[in-house]
Amino acid sequence: MFDLEKILRPHILTLTPYASARDEYEGTEGIFLDANENPLGSVTPKPYNRYPDPYQWALKEKVAALRKVQSKQIFLGNGSDEAIDLLIRATCSPSQDEVILLPPTYGMYEVSASIHDARLVKVPLTQDFQIDVPAVSKAITPQTKLIFLCSPNNPTANLLRSKDIVYIIEHFNGIVVVDEAYIDFAPEHTFVSKLTEYKNLVILQTFSKAWGLAGLRLGMAFASEEIITVLNKLKSPYNINILTQEAVLESINNTKAKDQMVAQILKDKQILIQQLLALPVVEKIFPSDANFLLVKVTDAKAVYQHLIRDKIIVRDRSKVILCEGCLRITVGSAEENSQLTTSLVSFKERTPVR
């Protein structure tokens, strides 16, 4: 049985969080002399002199309607990376508790876990980039607090099999984090609807990719109200600034623009795949459920350098486990994609020295 109290670090359970001025009085009307703000306004014409809503309720109401969850099941962070950090901070006592990662995967899980001195337990994906379910099951110990699953996975681009994710959730008494940063590009549905069923499930999504709002820094975590309460206790009081709250609030009304961009990117991805497959330098393109491709090339380092000379920057993943010889390439605009292919056409392999 999942028991959140057993998963949390003992001092987090009893922690009294900082109570901000806006925690103690929740009304919006009145003379506010409680937060030492500047009463005259800001140096701009905008009312930035006031602190933002610490719990972003207006924004959460919109996100709740969009994702069909309760507002109290939502945590908003300065990027999903804030939620990743807080989840580890809440659960892992340094040099004692364990986090299971499935490399190759998103680098922030390892960085965040290392910052908190959590023990890293790495269970590589299988050759076809799926969860090695028996190996993960075997790796779980009483110290395991979190398992990070990324689906679609970065950098491999594929969805993890739903039934494997469900198996892990059902056979682990800690928290399973399913990172769905790329879910808007994927044909399958999100795990958000499973939140009612599983109390140990946390789902991460972000406005950084499909919505095109990476510069605003807004990530979402969906979970039980109990888990969200813990994240709220640990976050810095005003973690989402007014500009971001307002801009995202407005953007959410524009799902149509998001859907159109996603459709365009998916169409351009198919064209790019065809163009890349025709090139001698491309050995293989792995199946992609995201807005990027993992591409095996004949000589990753040389191809990477060649592209840099043409001012085209991709991600060299050739040193990453199971990604040997691979570059990770974001699907760009049609024009960017054709410049990429043009550059790759002109790549000449050096004759191997015998």
Ligand X SMILES: *Cc1c(COP(=O)(O)O)cnc(C)c1O
Stretch that binds ligand X, among 16-24, 75-83, 166-174, 273-281 (CB under 6 A): 75-83
Query: Considering only 8-16, 47-55, 160-168, 203-211, which stretch makes contact with ligand X by CB under 6 A?
Result: 203-211
Min separation Cβ 68 and ligand X, Å = 21
* Site membership for ligand X, residue 186 (CB under 6 A): no
| Least gap, CB of 245 to ligand X (angstroms) | 15
**Closer Cβ to ligand X, 81 or 97, answer by number:** 81
Q: Are 303 and 297 in contact (CB under 8 A)?
A: yes
Least separation in angstroms between residue 308's CB and ligand X is: 22
- DSSP state letters, 76-126: EESSHHHHHHHHHHHH--TTT-EEEE-SS--HHHHHHHHHTTPEEEE----
Q: Considering CB under 6 A, how many residues would be counted as binding ligand X?
A: 13
**Rounded to 10 degrees, what is the CA torsion of 153, 111, 4, 140?**
70
Figure out which of the listed residues 71, 80, 239, 288 binds ligand X, where binding follows CB under 6 A. Answer: 80
The three-state secondary structure class of 136 is: helix
Does 75 interact with ligand X (rule: CB under 6 A)? no
Question: Interacting stretch for ligand X, rule CB under 6 A, among 8-16, 73-81, 124-132, 293-301?
Answer: 73-81
Is position 208 an interface residue for ligand X (rule: CB under 6 A)?
yes
Pairing of strands 326-330, 292-297: antiparallel
103 binds ligand X (CB under 6 A): no
**Identified binder of ligand X from the candidate list 7, 8, 73, 81, rule CB under 6 A:** 81
CB nearer to ligand X: give 80 or 337.
80
Q: At what angle are helices 300-309 and 334-345 packed, to 10 degrees?
A: 120
Looking at the chain, which runs of residues are DSSP E strands?
74-77, 98-101, 119-122, 144-150, 175-179, 201-206, 219-222, 282-285, 292-297, 315-316, 326-330
In the complex, the smallest distance separating the C-beta of residue 66 from ligand X, rounded to whole angstroms, is 16
CB closer to ligand X, 81 vs 98: 81
Measured distance CA(224)–CA(75) in Å, rounded: 10
**Minimum distance from residue 43 beta carbon to ligand X (Å):** 29
Among 206, 244, 291, 337, binds ligand X (CB under 6 A): 206
Q: Residue 77 Cβ, how far from ligand X at the closest point, in Å?
A: 8
Pair 314, 346: CB distance under 8 Å: no
* Helix, strand, or coil (residue 207): coil
**Rounded distance, CA 306 to CA 310, Å?**
7
Q: Report the distance separating Cα 129 and Cα 99, nearest Å.
A: 19
Stretch that binds ligand X, among 44-52, 56-64, 136-144, 202-210 (CB under 6 A): 202-210
User: Is residue 106 within the footprint of ligand X (CB under 6 A)?
Assistant: yes
- One residue of 181, 281, 314, 322 binding ligand X per CB under 6 A: 181
Closest CA to 291 of 274, 270, 322: 270
Could you tell me the two tokens for 345? 């056409």
- Using CB under 6 A as the binding rule, the residues of this chain from 140 to 179 that contact ligand X are 150, 154, 179
* Binding residues for ligand X (CB under 6 A): 79-81, 106, 150, 154, 179, 181, 206, 208-209, 214, 219
